[in-house]
Structure 1
Amino acid sequence: MHRSSRLTMAASLVGVAALLGTSAGLAQAGPGDPLRAEQWGLDQVRAERAWATTTGRGAVVAVVDTGVDLTHPDLQGNLVAGATFTGCGAAGGPCGNGDFRGPDGQNNGDEHGTHVAGTVAAVANNGIGVAGVAPNARIMPVKVLEDGSGTFEDIAAGIRWSVDHGADVINMSLGGLAGTQVLTLTGLESSVTEAIAYAGARGTSVIVAAGNSATAFCNTPAWEPGAICVASTDRNELKSWFSELPNKPDLKAVAAPGGAGLTSCEDDIVSTVPVGTGAASCGQTDYDYYAGTSMATPHVAGVAALLFAQGRTRAAVEDALLTTARQPVTGLRGTYSPAYGWGIVDATAAVAQPGATPPNGRKGGPEKR
């Protein structure tokens, strides 16, 4: 595959809102997270009710994206070591620690990964900002995109590095343009397809944004076998106008909150951004409101982290995600639809599904050895 072939962030709608005007030992988020009331996405996936059972402690989510602000006070407590695979030159990667500033030390418009990371696992009840879907999970920052794009090879390298360094879940809020599935279907590109298969064989779940061009199928790499494709819903649980329909041959597809991308800031997904880069029009400096399937994907990755923290295998995690998801309006579970896949993920129902193992059994099965 030629190095000129590139993938971009699935959240091409970033910034639209600004332009348009238990046992786990964590108290429920509330006054300790000042923006919690605006996190309607947490309510839609029923995350907070799941925290009585699991908050994700012990699970690791690799955010394979534009890198993360390693100094953000709402993320620092949940970060593990990361890596950088873009801008590394002829020597190849890794050549950095996953910071959103690449090897040149500059922020080239790479706030995206920090927003994704906060949705997955921002620290809860710490007196600032937001709470993540899995507020005690760990975030592994893996930078594979610079200025919103990157090569298939760098993305594949980031996937493999994440697996080899202990990621339970890989979140990829990125994708090619509509129609780029032909590259993998014809064999012109195979590196990311093979990396996703590598992850699955080693017990790591790969969760990928469907895309934002409103076509009938998941874009690649969400299209690839084994990846869970995530479409976007708005706060009324309707399919977001921009979202791809979550359709792919293996039917591994769900929906999650990704925002409206047309109206007020509060109709989109609020999360962390690199310190000082928040849009003034939305009244924040270290947080911002984005829309896209990129924002839907980390909601699902966060629920997956809650499930991995229960000691489940990859197969059991993905079964729980898909079979407990609910169709909007009807509330039906175990039913596939072209608009929502198996439905909107439901953390409370998922963590209650049989398949959890005692904490001391976690990572003890053959899939994670």
Structure 2
Amino acid sequence: MRMRSLITTSLVGLSLVVTQASAGAAAGDPLIDKQWGLQQLHAPEAWASSTGAGQTIAVVDTGVDLGHPEFAGKLVPGATFACGGAPAPCGNGDWTGADGVGQEADVHGTHVAGIAAAAAGNGVGGAGVAPDAKIMPIKALENGSGTFEEIGAGVRYAADHGANVINLSLGAQPGIQVLTLLGIQAATKDAIAYARDKGVVVVASAGNETAPLCDTPSWEQGALCVAATDANEMHAIYSNLGVKLNLRAVSAPGGSSLGDCDGDVWSSVPRGMGKPECGQADYDALAGTSMAAPQVAGVAALLGAQGRDAAGIEDALIHTAQTPIAGLRGVYNPVYGYGVVDAAAAVGYQG
């Protein structure tokens, strides 16, 4: 059975002005004033306490452009598990894969990695949520899709090779949760449980079908499900709700997918693959819960750098998340889960 990644690439408009805090923290990043998601997360305020140094975020996805300037000096060894039937691993996590040919859909992993941990203040692009964290590139998808077994193998590799946080911006179609509940398909579910038992935080996207339940793998008990918000902090129209059996769900910026580029999430893409309409060769604006999950993975790395264990990281994320309009913190509702993640509040959370 193929598990495809859910990649929403339509664009939306609403540009916001960067605050003084982020301008100072990431001076020299020309796209920083377009990164409204950092403001929604209150990430710049959190950077005074933690920038994610010493943490590694594994991006189990379509691979990463290993030569992109946003990741210079930030990569740890990765692996490729999308091997077309050949023995795995068959590569180092580069987005072009075993055949060396990059697919358009496979810009996704580089975008996700940049959201989580792009370098700050390096004079190009923008800043990641955890700008001093390392990235472990794991290519488990080719041309935007992969099997449960390939994804599970990528998760296990990350857990065995020093990842502190694993990001899964991918998901199966609604209804596939039944297969994992019944044990018919357990490769990714078991891999997530394995990683969690090793003390790794697993963050996964809710899905983009406007469905009531988190897709698998975000549905699984060991994963934190992330729904998407737009630039107005409203639940994004495409996003699945944050509903799963153990209620471990939050929300984060994912973009609107309605119009021009600045209402979506700006991040790195493989060099030369940026869409002409957004005007950047090595960067692009995409929308989806795929973009929301790495925002949370980045905050998890900020918390891990403070010495918190996996349970402590999840508790801080959940208890400080805030529900828009109502202003409640750490109170579950099916639309936002426990609320929009607040990095500044989370790094100050004492439990």
TM-score range, shorter chain: over 0.9
Match status 1:228 vs 2:235: no
Q: In the aligned structure 2, how far is the partner of 1:226 from the partner of 1:178?
A: 19
Q: In the aligned structure 1, how far is the partner of 2:160 from the partner of 2:27?
A: 38
Match status 1:46 vs 2:8: no
The equivalent of 1:152 in structure 2 is 148
Counting only pairs closer than 5 Å after superposition, residues 172-321 of structure 1 correspond to structure 2 as: 172-321=168-317
Which consecutive segments of 4 or more residues in structure 1 shift more than 4 A?
none
Q: In the aligned structure 2, how far is the partner of 1:295 from the partner of 1:220?
A: 17
The equivalent of 1:104 in structure 2 is 99
The 8 Å contact of residues 246 and 254 in structure 1, kept in 2 or not, is answered as yes
The 8 Å contact of residues 12 and 256 in structure 2, kept in 1 or not, is answered as no
The 8 Å contact of residues 144 and 154 in structure 1, kept in 2 or not, is answered as yes
Match status 1:17 vs 2:11: yes
The equivalent of 2:16 in structure 1 is none
The equivalent of 1:166 in structure 2 is 162
- Deviation (angstroms), 1:18: 8.5
The one-letter amino acid of 1:135's match is: P
Q: In the aligned structure 2, how far is the partner of 1:294 from the partner of 1:235?
A: 16
The equivalent of 2:19 in structure 1 is none
Q: In the aligned structure 2, how far is the partner of 1:256 from the partner of 1:181?
A: 23
The one-letter amino acid of 1:94's match is: P
RMSD: 1.5
**Deviations 1:107-160 (CA, angstroms, capped at 9, x unpaired):** 022100000000000000111110000000000000000000000001000000
The 8 Å contact of residues 29 and 36 in structure 1, kept in 2 or not, is answered as no
Q: In the aligned structure 2, how far is the partner of 1:309 from the partner of 1:273?
A: 26
- Deviation (angstroms), 1:8: 1.2
Q: TM-score, normalised by structure 1?
A: 0.91
Ranges in structure 1 where 5+ consecutive residues have no aligned partner: 20-25, 356-369
The equivalent of 1:352 in structure 2 is 348
**Deviations 1:331-362 (CA, angstroms, capped at 9, x unpaired):** 2102111100000000000000126xxxxxxx
- Deviation (angstroms), 1:324: 0.5
Q: 1:66 aligns with which of 62, 67, 70?
A: 62
Match status 1:55 vs 2:51: yes
The one-letter amino acid of 2:228's match is: S
The 8 Å contact of residues 12 and 259 in structure 2, kept in 1 or not, is answered as no
The 8 Å contact of residues 27 and 125 in structure 1, kept in 2 or not, is answered as no
- Deviation (angstroms), 1:237: 0.6
Q: Give me the identity figure in percent.
A: 56
**Deviations 1:259-299 (CA, angstroms, capped at 9, x unpaired):** 00011100000000000000111111100000000000000
Q: In the aligned structure 1, how far is the partner of 2:72 from the partner of 2:266?
A: 18
The 8 Å contact of residues 18 and 279 in structure 1, kept in 2 or not, is answered as no
- Deviation (angstroms), 1:89: 2.8
Compared CA separation, residues 105 and 90, structure 1 to 2 (3 A): closer
- Deviation (angstroms), 1:249: 0.5
Q: In the aligned structure 2, how far is the partner of 1:151 from the partner of 1:30?
A: 38
The 8 Å contact of residues 83 and 98 in structure 2, kept in 1 or not, is answered as yes
The 8 Å contact of residues 29 and 131 in structure 1, kept in 2 or not, is answered as no
Q: Secondary structure at the match of 2:11?
A: helix
The equivalent of 1:335 in structure 2 is 331
Compared CA separation, residues 90 and 274, structure 1 to 2 (3 A): closer
Q: Secondary structure at the match of 1:140?
A: strand
- Deviation (angstroms), 1:88: 5.2
- Deviation (angstroms), 1:17: 1.5
The one-letter amino acid of 1:57's match is: A
